[in-house]
Structure 1
Amino acid sequence: MVRTSVIGCGNMGSALLTGLWKAGGHSVVACDLDPDALAAVADYCEETTDDVSRAADADVVFVAVKPDIVEAVLSELDLSPDQTLVTIAAGVPTSFVEARTDARVVRIMPNLAAETRDMAAAATGDLTDEVRELLSDVGEFVEVEESQMDIATAVNGSGPAFVFYLIEAVTQAGVAGGLSEEDAEILAAQTFKGAAETVVQDDRTADELIDAVCSPNGTTIEGMEVLWDSDADDAVTEAVVAAERRSKELAEEFADE
């Protein structure tokens, strides 16, 4: 069994811990200075601690903290070349981390769906079989070049918020039409979930799937005409570009370190 630790039990760290617990078969230590954060994840790990050196005693060490405290955490970690350090911090380059540890370094950008084992993640660096197995147990991941991590951060790291926004818009349209808030949210969320799973499993492109749903003179084509005539796709693209730009700005802060 691969010994794993997660340093930083905020939103992303706790989502990862919960997903690994649901997957089963993992020995995980959770580390955080906040006792409330540790209490919140105590049921999803083997041990909780505020001692970074205890978390360092693992085969794979995840550092899931804010970018501005990554360096402070790294300074407290004494890892060997036999260990793997996996960072989850927007904009922090692999090279920055490699200069501060003897361990193998992997940089990932996951998302909160790790909690339900539906995560989408981008990964770069020295991926071992152990890391691949850990990531696979909480969702899907793709291996990308370091230069692609900013756009990956925007697509899958920030992407859930964009989807939540669209789900809320569809939900409120349902409420305006007479559905209860609860019923509209269930229908909207499950529809997005099912549509996403169809894209993942079906060989057809998204455009081909749209055609499959749009019957001539039907309800769907009527709605799609509104979207095609709008700037909705431009707005979504601009949101992704803005998130990518911010990731690059964060990276610039580490360029001269």
Structure 2
Amino acid sequence: MIDVSVIGCGNMGGALITGLAQAGNYDITAYDVDPDAFEAIEEYADRTTTDLEDVRDSAVVVLAVKPDIVPLVLEDLDLRAEQTLVTIAAGVSTDVVASETDASVVRVMPNLAARTRNMAAAVSWAEPDENVKAMLSDLGEFVVVDEDLMDVATALNGSGPAFVFYLIGAMQQRAAEEGLDADDARVLAAQTFKGAAETVLRSEESIEDLIDAVCSPGGTTIEGMEVLWDSSVESDVGDALSAARRRSAELAEEAEK
């Protein structure tokens, strides 16, 4: 049993609490200054508290607050060297956090799919932390990256779900306009993304080869792909990712001032 405290029960903190509870083997304390924040996660946390003292003995403490709140929490959070502090705040470097605590600091960029244990996460650490490794594995897939790549990881897997939701919505809307029931279109669009993603994860084939496997000469798929190949959608999606990366870098600069 791993003793975990999550500071901040907003969307991301709540997703982590929900996923860890479903995984089992975690004793979860949820902290927030606002008692109303517990409504969505109360059934998943072993305890809820508005007293920061209640999280100070956990083996792993997850700092799941907005970047500008991090310094305020660190002022009152007194952890020991044998504990681990996980920060998920976009743009807040390990050095900034480590200067304010005795605990080992691990930086993670998760995403909301932690809620269903399908999370994609990037992690940066000086040394692998077995408790954090277990948590990330139980919540989905993770990769280890150098911290100077955290801005692009933030854009890719942190902001990426919103980009995917947008694309699912576009496919759902057009299918509904073509006559399909909107709810049916939502299911088919979402499951298509899920299945395609699983195929990529389980295959060693390139993305191009996987596209070719779906396209038959003169068939429906290649007709649609011709529209995409002739459009700017590839660069537009890339530009969205780059914009998110730049904002992550700006947040880092603001946090270090």
TM superposition score normalised by structure 1: 0.98
Output the CA distance in 1 between the equivalents of 2:43 and 2:255: 36
Letter paired with 1:74:
L
Output the CA distance in 1 between the equivalents of 2:136 and 2:76: 25
| Residue in 1 that maps onto 2:191 | 190
| Residue in 1 that maps onto 2:177 | 176
| Residue in 1 that maps onto 2:51 | 51
| Residue in 1 that maps onto 2:131 | 130
Letter paired with 2:80:
S
3-state DSSP of counterpart to 1:40:
coil
| Residue in 2 that maps onto 1:213 | 214
Q: Are 2:41 and 1:38 aligned?
A: no
| Residue in 2 that maps onto 1:109 | 109
Q: Are 2:13 and 1:16 aligned?
A: no
**How far has the Cα of 1:57 moved from its partner?**
1.5
**How far has the Cα of 1:137 moved from its partner?**
0.5
Per-residue Cα deviation, 1:135-162 (whole angstroms, up to 9, x for no partner): 1101111110010000000000000000
Letter paired with 2:242:
V
| Residue in 2 that maps onto 1:149 | 150
| Residue in 1 that maps onto 2:224 | 223
3-state DSSP of counterpart to 1:6:
strand
Residues 72-87 of structure 1: pairs in structure 2 closer than 5 A = 72-87=72-87
Output the CA distance in 2 between the equivalents of 1:71 and 1:113: 27
Cα pair 2:215 2:221 within 8 Å, conserved: yes
Amino-acid identity (%):
59
Cα pair 2:28 2:46 within 8 Å, conserved: yes
**How far has the Cα of 1:248 moved from its partner?**
0.3
Which structure 1 residue ranges, 5 or more long, are not aligned? none
Which structure 2 residue ranges, 5 or more long, are not aligned? none
**How far has the Cα of 1:39 moved from its partner?**
2.5
Per-residue Cα deviation, 1:170-227 (whole angstroms, up to 9, x for no partner): 0011001100110000000000000001000111111110000001110000000000
**How far has the Cα of 1:53 moved from its partner?**
1.5
| Residue in 1 that maps onto 2:60 | 60
Moved over 6 A (4+): none
Output the CA distance in 1 between the equivalents of 2:210 and 2:61: 41
3-state DSSP of counterpart to 2:216:
coil
Per-residue Cα deviation, 1:39-73 (whole angstroms, up to 9, x for no partner): 22110011000111211220000000000000011
Q: Which moved more, 1:93-102 or 1:121-130?
A: 121-130
Output the CA distance in 2 between the equivalents of 1:23 and 1:152: 25
Per-residue Cα deviation, 1:112-170 (whole angstroms, up to 9, x for no partner): 00000000000102431111001110111111001000000000000000000000000
Output the CA distance in 2 between the equivalents of 1:153 and 1:222: 34
TM superposition score normalised by structure 2: 0.98
Output the CA distance in 1 between the equivalents of 2:13 and 2:33: 13
Cα pair 1:53 1:76 within 8 Å, conserved: no
**How far has the Cα of 1:37 moved from its partner?**
0.8
When the two chains are superposed, the root-mean-square deviation of aligned CA atoms in Å is 0.7
Output the CA distance in 2 between the equivalents of 1:23 and 1:2: 11
How many residue pairs get aligned? The number is: 256
